[in-house]
């Protein structure tokens, strides 16, 4: 019962669309975590078939696939969650938020530990793919649609395909916001910088052209 109360509290804190405890029982994140917790216990006891059977029932009911072998800490919140996939050797810390369409998967090349390790207080936005056996550091954010293929330092924001670090903070702290769109846009920043450089170059060329014309007029006089 303690686990159920914790799950209800987490969902109500992070999803303003939930208006009562009873609504939480219909929430996909809540239902899939009940399946996962039971399946994980069976997996640890090496009842692999039963673990997978319960896990797959959860997939059919929620559209969220969590392998029973994954290790998940406290406070995982999956918002909506359809299409979320969490692989067998994934390790997830505490207070992690995943949005719909997130994949925590492997590249198909590793043996043993094949899936990512997600630190504490991490937010992974809609459609992001984290592929490989590296670590996403504590207090980090992954932008929507990003493809993360290498380690993410703590306290970082990464975006893009492949994902790059676009922001870092010095002090460790919990997530300031779960906003998925309030993130730096490195492509726009690069385009803006190129536009400014192009404008400056054009202005310099015009000045040089005017100087040359002035010199020609002086010679003709």
Structure confidence by residue, pLDDT tens digits, 142-198: 999 999 999 999 999 999 889 899 888 765 555 555 555 566 666 677 788 889 889
Higher pLDDT, 178 or 39: 39
The answer to whether 72 and 93 have CB atoms below 8 angstroms apart is: no
pLDDT band at 72 (very low <50, low <70, confident <90, very high): very high
What are 89-115's pLDDT values in tens digits?
Answer: 999 999 999 999 999 999 877 778 999
List the domain boundaries for the chain. Answer: 2-180, 185-221
pTM for this predicted structure: 0.76
**∠ at Cα 12 (121, 53), nearest 5°?**
80
Cβ contact 79:108 at 8 Å: no
Q: In whole angstroms, give the CA distance from residue 177 to residue 59.
A: 29
Residue of 24, 32, 18, 19 whose CA lies nearest to 5: 24
Eight-state DSSP code of residue 113:
S
Residue 99 near residue 180, CB atoms below 8 Å = yes
Q: How far apart are CA 187 and CA 171, in angstroms?
A: 26
Antiparallel, parallel or unpaired: β 156-159 and 164-168? antiparallel
Annotation: CATH topology of 2-180: UDP N-Acetylglucosamine Acyltransferase; domain 1 (2.160.10)
């Amino acid at each position: 019962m303690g686990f159920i109360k914790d799950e209800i509290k987490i969902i109500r804190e992070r999803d303003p669309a939930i208006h009562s405890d009873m609504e939480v029982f219909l929430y996909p994140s809540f239902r899939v975590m009940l399946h996962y917790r039971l399946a994980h216990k069976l997996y640890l006891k090496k009842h692999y078939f039963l673990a997978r059977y319960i896990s797959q029932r959860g997939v059919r009911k929620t559209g969220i696939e969590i392998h029973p072998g994954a290790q998940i800490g406290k406070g995982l919140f999956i918002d909506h969650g359809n299409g979320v996939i969490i692989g067998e050797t994934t390790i997830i810390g505490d207070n992690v938020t995943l949005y719909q369409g997130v994949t925590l998967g492997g590249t198909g090349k590793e043996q043993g530990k094949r899936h990512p390790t997600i630190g504490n207080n991490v937010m992974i936005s809609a459609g992001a793919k984290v592929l490989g056996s590296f670590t996403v550091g504590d207090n980090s954010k992954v932008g929507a649609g990003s493809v993360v293929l290498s380690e993410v330092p703590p306290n970082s924001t990464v975006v893009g395909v492949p994902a790059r670090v676009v922001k870092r903070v010095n002090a460790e702290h919990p997530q300031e916001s779960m906003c998925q769109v309030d993130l730096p846009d490195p492509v726009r920043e690069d385009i803006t910088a190129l536009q400014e450089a192009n404008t400056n170059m054009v202005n310099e060329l015009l000045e040089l052209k005017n100087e040359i014309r002035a010199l020609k007029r002086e010679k003709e006089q």
